Amino acid sequence: MLRDARMAGLVKLRCSLCVDHQHPLVPLWEYNRPEERYDLSSRFEDIKDAILARKLEQPRTAPSPYDIWLDTRLATGTDDTWLAGQSLYAATKFCTLLGAELLRLEDTSDLGEEAQIRHGQALGFNIARCGEVEIREALDALVSLASGNTDEPHKAFGKLYVELAQFHLAKEDFVPFRKIMRDCILDHWPIAPGETVLGYFQPTRKLHSVGTAAQEAKIGPALLEQFLVDAGAITADDQRPVSRKTFDAVAYADLLAEVPTLVGPARMQHEMGATRMQFKSLAEDGVIKPRIQVATINSPWRISDGIALVEELLGIAQPVAPTSTKWESIQQARKRTGLRVGKIIEALRNGELQLGHYPNVEGYAGFCVLKAEINGMRPAKQKVTDQGFLTASAFGRSVGIRTSGWFKKLAAGGHTPETLTPHPKGGPDQSYLSADDIAQFHKRFMTPATMEQKFGQHRKILLGKLRAAGVEIFAPNGEDYGSVYLRNEVEAVLE
């Protein structure tokens, strides 16, 4: 029996065993009216025969650490656990509630109702006795029970949450327990600013979910998720629903503010005063870089990047008469000489070239460069003799690609080197490959034909493996270079 009968009301349902006799506590009577319930002389008379007949006897049970702790604290006030700093009522209630929820993580189908209560009390006490860190770890484990799209904290913490949020919300001795659960909730659910969690007002947002962030940014969650994966806010293999796929709201606030302002190429061209081909060349050479390198996103560009480039170049440009024949647009210089736009812009920034601007043309399209200076930047042309050079078409056949102009396009984009030589009849420069050019291509790229040679399997099998692994052909910014793959991506799957 309890050492102090006056404590019976305090620990009702939380004390289940007499430690001295190792006998489970059993209900003696039930009366709703207090005057009947506390009429001991009448009540003892009612149960006298049952007691003498030993009908209330139960099998003995070894006391758990919880039973011994509670008995010792009631008898002497001694407590060497973290719970010593908590009221007995709050401590016993919390241990019982926490343990009951932790039972959901175990298979207790072989335990009766009373055995489950006692086992739960022991579970809860073994956690709570150690302090805040262990309690938090236990609550984090319960979060896994609420993984559905609409699951809220009460789904994870059950009656423990309900009691702390309602019946014990205003009780001072439950403050430490409410705070631990509040912190856990803030670390797992996207609580909006202005909400109150377990009595605590939340002034700012700590977490966003993909769903709440998409709603705030007024864009689709699938689109936003691509930006979040690219930025490292979430992982591509995160299988949680959008409402539970959370990330740090503060760390990625700038990204969320920026995404709705991004535009497609047509809007960028308009804002920069550039033609489609001019903007395409700037993008291919990385002079203008998208916010995200994902081909399926149609609006990856910052207007501010385009305007900044135009303003930068205007700062070093001089007025040029539209009728002057000494100057040509940057795009014309690229087309005439094969020089990359990125290389021309770099030379302008370094002061190696003069930059002009036609006053009658606004924006990027009005910039021009001196033809003579551009000619000086052209690589020295080599005569084709007996040096073993291959034509681009012959090299294409050697790697299984017969599409006309594919290698020239790949080289013009700056992705692999080529050797330019004068046309014997004064036509456009011809593209050849030296031994070093060929080595550089194979160092970076593979084709289905070279895969067959290296791995000894039919290309259909090899390409099937690449598709299954998500490896795609090399197509930066949507450019089509044919069946060309990055070597490092291929070898990561096939080797």
Chain-centroid distance of CA 314 in Å reads: 40
**CA–CA distance from 290 to each of 283, 333, 384 (Å)?**
8, 24, 40
Give which of 217, 212, 216 is closest to 242, Cα–Cα.
212
Mean pLDDT of the chain: 87
> What percentage of the chain exceeds 70 in pLDDT?
93
Helix (H) or strand (E) holding 319: strand 317-319
How many CB atoms lie under 10 A from the CB of residue 101?
Answer: 22
> Residue 422 above 90 pLDDT?
no
Q: Which tokens go with 248?
A: 């740090």
Give dist(CA 150, CA 475) in Å, integer.
39
Please compute Rg for the chain using Cα positions.
Answer: 38
339 confidence band (pLDDT: 50, 70, 90):
confident
- Amino acid at residue number 290: P
Give dist(CA 280, CA 167) in Å, integer.
65
Across 438-444, average pLDDT: 92
Give which of 189, 335, 240, 282 is closest to 477, Cα–Cα.
282
Paired strand residues for 18: 23
What's the first-to-final CA gap in the chain, in angstroms?
A: 72
Give dist(CA 296, CA 57) in Å, integer.
73
Across 484-493, average pLDDT: 92
Q: Which tokens go with 2?
A: 């309890």
- Condensed to tens digits (0 to 9), the pLDDT of residues 283-301 reads 988 899 998 888 788 899 9
Angle between helices 330-337 and 276-284 (to 10 degrees): 70
164 and 154 Cβ atoms separated by less than 8 Å:
no
Give dist(CA 369, CA 380) in Å, integer.
20
3 state SS of 55: coil
426 confidence band (pLDDT: 50, 70, 90):
low
Helix (H) or strand (E) holding 138: helix 132-143
64 and 122 Cβ atoms separated by less than 8 Å:
yes
> Residue 8 above 60 pLDDT?
no
Across 75-80, average pLDDT: 90
Give which of 23, 125, 6 is closest to 65, Cα–Cα.
125
- Condensed to tens digits (0 to 9), the pLDDT of residues 31-49 reads 788 877 777 777 777 777 7
**Which residues touch 99 (CB under 8 Å, ≥6 apart)?**
119, 120, 121, 122, 123, 124, 125, 127
Total number of residues shown for the chain: 495
Give dist(CA 190, CA 216) in Å, integer.
12
> Residue 425 above 60 pLDDT?
no
- Condensed to tens digits (0 to 9), the pLDDT of residues 141-151 reads 999 999 888 89
CB-count exposure of residue 32 (10 Å: 0-12, 13-18, 19+): exposed
DSSP state of 415: S
How many CB atoms lie under 10 A from the CB of residue 424?
Answer: 9
Chain-centroid distance of CA 186 in Å reads: 17
- Condensed to tens digits (0 to 9), the pLDDT of residues 378-392 reads 765 544 444 568 888
> Residue 302 above 70 pLDDT?
yes
Give dist(CA 380, CA 389) in Å, integer.
16
126 and 132 Cβ atoms separated by less than 8 Å:
no
Determine phi and psi for 220, rounding to 5 degrees.
-70, 145
CB-count exposure of residue 54 (10 Å: 0-12, 13-18, 19+): exposed
Q: Lowest mean pLDDT: which of 162-166, 315-319, 375-379?
A: 375-379
